[in-house]
Amino acid sequence: AEYTEYHRYLKEVVQALESDPEFREKLEKADEEDVRSGKIAEHLDFVNHNVRSRLDEIKRRELERLRHLATKVRNSNTPSQKSNIQGRSSI
């Protein structure tokens, strides 16, 4: 389920970025290495303001989803599981 949600998030980000014609053109001209390395992100500063706002909202929703998931996982662990997790992190 988490993979599906994250995939949805990534798809939404790509759709938002591709809605900016100039960024879409840069993305289409970029080679695969520029995309994989993150070099394409240098062009994000020039994305249309409305697209930037949309990206901010998409990110805010994803962070909220992840916080909720982390809280749910933390609350579902039994005390013995919590101590095992804490014990491992100190090694």
Alpha-carbon Rg of the chain, whole angstroms?
A: 18
What pLDDT, in 10s, does the model give residues 71-90? 999 999 856 555 555 555 44
Reported residue count of the chain is 91
User: Alpha-carbon distance 39 to 79, whole Å?
Assistant: 44
Backbone φ and ψ of 83, nearest 5°:
-70, -35
Per-residue confidence (pLDDT) for residue 3, from 0 to 100: 82
pLDDT of 16 strictly over 70: yes
- Judge residue 16's burial from the number of C-beta atoms within 10 Å of its C-beta, 0-12 exposed, 13-18 middle, 19 or more buried: buried
DSSP 3-state of 77 = coil
Average pLDDT over residues 4-16: 94
Instruction: Dump pLDDT digits (tens) for 25-47.
Output: 999 999 999 989 999 999 998 99
CA 62 – CA 24 distance, rounded (Å): 23
The residue to which tokens 């994803």 are assigned: 62
Q: Show me where the domains of the chain are located.
A: 2-74
| Residue 2 pLDDT class (50, 70, 90 cuts) | confident
